[in-house]
Amino acid sequence: MNSNKSEYPTETFSAVKWNAGMLTLLDQRKLPGEIIYLNYDSASAVAAAIKEMIVRGAPAIGIAAAYAVVLAARSAWQENADCWREAIEADLMNLAAARPTAVNLHWAIAEMRQVFAIIEGEPEPFLLERAKQIHADDIAANHEMGRLGAELIVPDSQVITHCNAGALATGGYGTALGVIRTAFNQGRIKRVFASETRPWFQGARLTSWELQQDHIPVNLVIDSAIASLMENRKIAWLIVGSDRIAANGDVANKIGTYSHAVSAYYHGIKVMVVAPSSTIDMQIESGANIPIENRSAEEITEFNTIRIAPNDIEAINPAFDITPAKLVDVIVTEKGIVRSPNVEKMLAMFG
């Protein structure tokens, strides 16, 4: 996938934009009630925005980090043109530490490092070109995955998705929602069930909103309704994104994906994971080695800053879980589809 500019129609909204020499992020904490764009001109501020979930979703985090490297290099060059490479290291480490599970963040920083290893003179134009390319490639990958994934879905299907793997979580169009968008346009999907995704409600706030805007019929359900939905409605696929896929095909994704996949297995419903190759981590042998982000207890002991749990309760709040490869029917990437993933098949495609 190698496109300098997007060949696809402009998205109705963009989670990540480069605008007038600054990074602009759509504040996803405020959606769907308010549409607020925030501007960033420093890498440390972008790292904070990633931590605070202003931008979220593995590919979108990676793209934001790539633009943040441009900002870091600009300020280091302006301060001392002789040692800008050394000067930006602290910024790069800060960015890489912002969220541990999404490998796209580390992938994007590594891609940007490859550029600054070979350039001479002012770094910004070269780095910006690469960051824009990473962004455009992600959109193109989403459209390709949309095409490949949709082919697997028979007409008039009903599907379930979890969290938000849409335009908001990517450079545009979406991974899981990219497949859903394409399949809906082709008459293959007639209804989507979106699970709310506690505790950040990406399903309720973001996925429902994205699908509504595209006039794709969607029902919002609570996370714990999924098994009963699978029992009582005709569901063809569970379609989700991923934050990192290990070399054996184990999938890290938003907490709750694993239990949805177990329910799908029990009910004979197929599981499709849609992710660009930048989400594949062939250095990690299995899901057991994927770092899982633990977030603050307040995210579950409080609701909209109102305490709902007893004061001294110890809460555990992992943001992601691992769905073992044996529960996954297909991994759809822009490079192709891996069916019933295992280490041999993953190696054959991603070597």
| Token representation of residue 280 | 């594949």
- CA 351 – CA 338 distance, rounded (Å): 13
Least Å from the CB of residue 80 to ligand MRU: 35
Q: Which positions from 160 to 199 touch ligand MRU by CB under 6 A, shown as an x/- string?
A: ---x-x---xx----x------------------------
Report the residue number, 28 or 126, with the smaller CB distance to ligand MRU: 28
Q: H helices of 158-305, where? A: 176-185, 208-213, 226-232, 257-266, 298-301
Positions annotated as catalytic residues are 243
Segment 105 to 144, residues that bind ligand MRU, using CB under 6 A: none
Contact status: 333 vs ligand MRU (CB under 6 A) = no
Q: Which helix (H) or strand (E) holds 144?
A: helix 124-150
Q: Which helix (H) or strand (E) holds 46?
A: helix 43-51
Least Å from the CB of residue 50 to ligand MRU: 9
Least Å from the CB of residue 197 to ligand MRU: 8
Work out which of 15, 56, 157, 180 binds ligand MRU, going by CB under 6 A.
56
Burial of residue 78 (number of CB atoms within 10 Å: 0-12, 13-18, 19+): exposed
Least Å from the CB of residue 61 to ligand MRU: 7
Report the residue number, 76 or 208, with the smaller CB distance to ligand MRU: 208
Report the residue number, 94 or 202, with the smaller CB distance to ligand MRU: 202
- CA 213 – CA 133 distance, rounded (Å): 27
Contact status: 254 vs ligand MRU (CB under 6 A) = yes
Residue with smallest beta-carbon separation from ligand MRU: 241
- CA 331 – CA 325 distance, rounded (Å): 9
Decide if 342 contacts 325 (C-beta within 8 A): yes
Interface with ligand MRU: number of residues (CB under 6 A): 17
Contact status: 58 vs ligand MRU (CB under 6 A) = yes
Report the residue number, 84 or 196, with the smaller CB distance to ligand MRU: 196
Least Å from the CB of residue 284 to ligand MRU: 16
First to last CA, the chain: 17
For 317, the 3-state DSSP assignment is: coil
Report the residue number, 293 or 302, with the smaller CB distance to ligand MRU: 293
Sign of CA dihedral 216, 219, 221, 226: negative
- CA 175 – CA 167 distance, rounded (Å): 8
Residue ranges in contact with ligand MRU by CB under 6 A: 56-59, 102, 163, 165, 169-170, 175, 202, 241-243, 253-254, 319
